[in-house]
Chain A
Amino acid sequence: MSDPRIYGMIKDIFVEFFELKESQVRPEATLFEDLGLDSLDMVDLAVELQAKFGFTFDRAADEEKIRAIRTVRNFCDYVEEKIKILNIKLPDL
């Protein structure tokens, strides 16, 4: 989780869509237990990834990686890796 821009953008998504406080979206917070998200929220997260970053969960290629996502940090790492692989340019903060 080396790029603070990604963490910032993901935190914004969590705050806006899941009505969480910024302080709740800590890197070590677990998505389901700590933040109270569920499988439908994961669908909305996928939709927002598409809107904000131009890609979404690739279930065929990344099945294991997606299944391993437990925390905000895991999620940020997945997004960061995809951004590098797909060479997506992020906006400057």
Chain B
Amino acid sequence: MNRNRVVITGYGIVSPYGIGAEKMFDGLYANRSAVVNIREWLGPRAPAYHSLVAAPLQEIPDPRDVPRTFRRNMGPLAVIAYRSCVDAIAHAAVPAGAVGSPGFGIVYSSTTGSAEALEESFRVYIEDTLRVLPNSGSFFKIMSHTCTANVAHALGLRGIAYSVSSACASSTQAIGIAYDLLRRGAQEMILCGGSEELHPLAVLIFDLLQAASWKYNDRPTQTPRPFDVQRDGTVCSAGAGALLLETEASARRRNAPILGEIAGYATNIDPTSMAQSSQESIVACIRAALADAGVRPEDVDYVNAHATATVAGDISEGLAIEEVFGGRPVPVSSLKGHMGHALAAAGVLELVGSLEMMRRGRLVPSLNLETPCPEAAGLNHIPHAGLEARVRCFVKNSFAFGGINAVLVVKEYAE
């Protein structure tokens, strides 16, 4: 079957480092941690938490940048999603007329709807028996497709609109679905990505599941520690990212600069554990993505790991990477040590970070990795100072609670 090639022509990023991809790149390349102590932020709730670390947004888009009739339906989640999409469209220099065309779609993701709006709504519902919801926009902030719907309305989109929700694999799946739609010709351009607003409840859930870091509360920049022997869990963060994907034909027709090519994608589910994916299922997913891309393991120049720094998760992934790429020391790193785990947004933020590594020819290490754990000792970890490398092809891993795995293969674009 003749399928379209799918290319990346723009991105928009809101990361813990600030608004704009350049701020994220600066933070990553400076090996600067975005993780802080959150005791003050949690206030009276703090005693309930073992984990008192997170990477919240250091710069928040002004909600008033969004017209009131759209803003009233947006929680913080959708506001940053909107900003990421507006910036991706601008970065890709998409002609104004294309945005509202039937060939322009959106596949955006979040773990849930806005948790802040959900909290407010339940407070009103429980405390005020005469009111059901705080206002007309409450449901539109809470609904699970809040990002996709709100962004589409604010931008006037008329194409395909999907909302993806698979926790920490969300944005990687969203990109994968967009890629599938474009290569079969269902759309010409698609905004895709994910958003995470960071609510105290997210930290508490990871805490409860013993997956959150808690031994570094007084040294927040030293955690999370992907693949490190002293790792003790992940650190939740906030962010939003969007890619503008389009068919190669569309990009070439309008002479758009091409930043990379989505060459392959695979996703699967591991039914053996809700909490973590097995080595076997991760191996199967990576191999399926490579096969989809028509790429051999030896063609891959860099693996951007999911590696959240949980004790068990890093072992499964480390062993899986070694099994797939064994015998050839492909450089590996995780960006969680820099900016924590932005859950639904993690995949797209890290993919854009990896695109920049490909562009610069310089790989970013796993921050806080000092002594690799024995199970990941066989990997080619990037030294703290970084690594010069010609990257023609990289793999982006994402795994989620529920046992969902998603892997993308990205290549340097060549005609």
Which A residues lie at the B interface, using CB under 8 A?
A: 18-19, 38, 40-41, 43-44, 47, 50
Contacts and interface: CB of A to CB of B under 8 A. Distances in A.
Contact of B135 (A19, A38, A43): A43
Contacts of B2: none
A88 to B, nearest CB: 15
- Secondary structure of the A contact surface, majority rule: helix
Contacts of B137: 40, 44
B135 A47 contact: yes
Nearest to A37: B69
Contacts of B20: none
Contact of A40 (B72, B130, B131, B134): B72
A50 B131 contact: yes
A35 to B, nearest CB: 12
Counting contact residues on chain B (CB < 8 A from A), the size range is 10 to 19
Given A47-B131, A50-B130, A50-B131, A40 B136 contact: yes
B3 interface: no
Contacts of B73: 40
Interface string B40-74: 00000000000000000000000000001100110
Nearest to A19: B68
Contacts of B131: 47, 50
Given A18-B68, A19-B68, A41 B136 contact: yes
A19 B137 CA distance: 16
Nearest to A39: B136
A21 to B, nearest CB: 13
A43 B68 contact: no
B132 to A, nearest CB: 10
Nearest to B132: A47
Q: Which of B72, B73, B131, B136 has the most CB of A within 10 A?
A: B136
